[in-house]
Amino acid sequence: MSYEAYNAFATAVQKEMQRLDYEEQLGILTIVVTAMNNKKKQVPAMSREEKLSLFEKFKGSMKVPADFEARKEYLEYLDERYSV
């Protein structure tokens, strides 16, 4: 469903909901929430192999050099930022 179609549908539902009593509103909201939950369940999860391949791909980009000193880097950053 496109954004425009969803937005038009949501606007129409919002207008119609004003005319309904609380029990009818609750029934419609229950249908919407159930549909959203079913949509979530339909999305296939990544396989273990896919997850591991992504982990292997990105773990190298998260490594920090052995000589990295967080405190020193932070203090240098503060010196540069607040020096006049």
pLDDT tens for 64-80 read 778 888 889 888 888 88
Which residue, 36, 34, 31, 38, is CA-closest to 13? 31
Q: How far apart are CA 16 and CA 24, in angstroms?
A: 11
Q: What pLDDT score does 53 carry?
A: 87
Does pLDDT of 60 surpass 80?
Answer: no
Whether 20 and 28 have beta carbons less than 8 Å apart is answered as yes
pTM of this structure? 0.36
Whether 30 and 20 have beta carbons less than 8 Å apart is answered as no
- Using CA atoms of 73, 78, 81, 83 in order, give the dihedral in degrees to the nearest 10: -120
